[in-house]
Structure 1
Amino acid sequence: GEEFSVERDIVRMSGTIADMLASFPSVADDDSASSSQPIPLPNVTANSLKLVLKWCEEHKKDEKEEKKDDDDNRERNQKIPEWDEKFFKPMDQKTLCDLFMAANFLNIQGLFDHIAKCIAKKITGKSTKEIRDEWNIVNDFTPEEEEAIRKKN
Structure 2
Amino acid sequence: MEWFDKSFAGLTTDELFRIYQLRAQVFNGEQESSYPDPDEQDRTARHLFCCDGSRVVAYARYFRAGKQVSFGRVVIQREYRGTGLSASLMTRLLTGIHRAFPGMEIIIHAQYYIQGYYAKYGFTPTGDPFTEAGRKHITMTHPAL
TM (norm. structure 1) is 0.30
Q: Counting helix residues as a fraction of each chain, which structure ranks higher?
A: 1
Max Rg structure: 1
Q: Counting strand residues as a fraction of each chain, which structure ranks higher?
A: 2
TM (norm. structure 2) is 0.32
Higher relative contact order (CA 8 A, sep 6+): 1
